[in-house]
């Protein structure tokens, strides 16, 4: 066919429009990128956070790419909330206490003394007893979206010094959570606040006598069992309470199908941690060869449990939300105490 002048001009007129359209299509296919930081160091994060991020990155089909950072890599753990709120981070895995949450829930994340006895207590408290509604509402007020909470390991003690009575706690310099430290200080414990990754060296240099931070699974996983000698089987809480949070604006921008994917990944991660910790605590107590097990007699440890009830009363006086959360803990503990074993010891 003969190429007419009109056809040539017409083609030239269309060319700029096509050229402009191509970059637009490319931009639409660019992945959404998030920066995500966990409270955990790399060794622990491999089990408690990384599986979730890997799940999302693999299953999103390139639509969402999350870069994971471990404890203190972008900001100190105590600044996680601020970084999330201002958008320096898009997502965070932490307990409320460690990240210095400005909400009333701060005291109850991490290890609130004797609020739980086992890892499964945490999802029950959130999904059946209303804590999820409280957490969601409190974070919405401060521009952060709370997604989900789950339990992890109990709060035992791993130390250089042998502990067989309450008096042995007196003067111990321990790496622990803010609220746990506040509670333990009445027994002479000296809480020490340092970066997570510095704790192992701090024991070696004598700055710390040990940790009241985790169960025995973490002690072996992160290297703390290599620098301490004893593991106290008594604990001050049966399970850590930690959550996943995202920047409110970034969550609102995420398409619904990606929101569903993120939630599915988090729930799958909860399931993995349930068995990893539960099995690890039993196996390492029974077969671990690095830490010698010690216990304070139950009748003596009852003094610590009684002190926790007074601590609950004090905290309940600090505000309406505090009172509401403590009320939930009281109700749940009443139920499991009536139910008996295996819900109680």
> Do residue 67 and residue 197 come from a single domain?
no
Domain count, the chain: 2
Determine, yes or no, domain membership for 2. no
> Do residue 130 and residue 251 come from a single domain?
yes
> Do residue 124 and residue 78 come from a single domain?
yes
Per-residue pLDDT of 290-344, as tens digits, reads 999 999 999 999 999 999 999 999 999 999 999 999 999 999 999 999 999 999 8
Task: Give the total residue count for the chain.
Answer: 345
Q: What pLDDT is stored for residue 4 in this prediction?
A: 42
> Do residue 213 and residue 254 come from a single domain?
no
> Do residue 219 and residue 312 come from a single domain?
yes
Domain span holding position 167:
157-236+288-319
Indicate which CATH number applies to the domain containing 67. 3.40.190.170
Compute and round to an integer the Cα radius of gyration of the chain: 25
Determine, yes or no, domain membership for 345. no
Q: Is 114 left (phi over 0), alpha (psi -120 to 50) or beta?
A: left
At what angle are helices 320-339 and 298-316 packed, to 10 degrees?
150
> Do residue 129 and residue 144 come from a single domain?
yes
The answer to whether 34 and 91 are in contact (CB under 8 A) is yes
* List of the chain residues with pLDDT < 50: 1-27
Determine, yes or no, domain membership for 16. no
CA distance 220 to 226: 8
> Do residue 279 and residue 304 come from a single domain?
no
> Do residue 56 and residue 163 come from a single domain?
no
Indicate which CATH number applies to the domain containing 200. 3.40.190.10
> Do residue 102 and residue 120 come from a single domain?
yes
> Do residue 212 and residue 194 come from a single domain?
yes
Q: Is 69 exposed, middle or buried (0-12, 13-18, 19+ CB in 10 A)?
A: middle
Determine, yes or no, domain membership for 17. no
CA distance 139 to 99: 13
> Do residue 165 and residue 303 come from a single domain?
yes
Q: What pLDDT is stored for residue 295 in this prediction?
A: 98
Q: How distant is the alpha carbon of residue 290 from its chain centre?
A: 26
> Do residue 127 and residue 200 come from a single domain?
no
What the block records as the tokens of 43 is: 């060794």
């Amino acid at each position: 066919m003969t190429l007419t002048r009109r056809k040539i001009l017409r083609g030239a007129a269309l060319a700029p429009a096509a050229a402009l359209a191509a970059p637009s299509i490319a931009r639409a296919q660019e992945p959404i990128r998030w920066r995500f930081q966990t409270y955990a160091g790399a060794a622990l994060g491999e089990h408690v956070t990384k599986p979730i991020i890997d799940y999302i990155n693999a299953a999103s089909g390139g639509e969402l790419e999350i870069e994971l950072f471990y404890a203190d890599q972008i900001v100190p753990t105590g600044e996680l909330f601020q970084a999330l709120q201002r958008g320096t981070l898009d997502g965070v895995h932490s307990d409320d206490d460690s990240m210095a949450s400005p909400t009333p829930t701060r005291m109850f994340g991490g290890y609130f003394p004797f609020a739980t006895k086992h890892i499964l207590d945490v999802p029950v408290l959130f999904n059946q007893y209303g804590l999820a509604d409280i957490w969601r509402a409190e974070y919405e007020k401060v521009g952060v979206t709370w997604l989900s909470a789950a339990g992890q390991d109990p709060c035992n003690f791993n130390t250089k010094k042998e502990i067989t009575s309450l008096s042995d706690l007196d003067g111990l310099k321990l790496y622990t959570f803010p609220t746990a430290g506040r509670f333990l200080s009445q027994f002479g414990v000296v809480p020490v606040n340092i970066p997570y990754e510095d704790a192992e060296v701090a024991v070696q240099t004598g700055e710390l006598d040990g940790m009241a931070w985790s169960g025995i699974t973490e002690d072996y996983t992160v290297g703390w069992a290599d620098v301490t000698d004893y593991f106290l089987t008594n604990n001050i809480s049966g399970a850590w309470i930690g959550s996943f949070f995202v920047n409110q604006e970034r969550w609102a921008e995420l398409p619904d199908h990606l929101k569903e994917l993120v939630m599915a990944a988090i729930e799958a991660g909860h399931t993995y941690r349930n068995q990893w910790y539960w099995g690890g605590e039993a196996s390492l107590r029974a077969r671990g060869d690095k830490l010698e097990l010690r216990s304070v007699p139950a009748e003596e440890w009852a003094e610590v449990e009684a002190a926790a009830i007074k601590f609950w009363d004090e905290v309940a006086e600090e505000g309406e939300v505090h009172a509401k959360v403590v009320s939930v803990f009281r109700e749940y503990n009443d139920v499991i105490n009536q139910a008996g074993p295996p819900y109680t010891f």
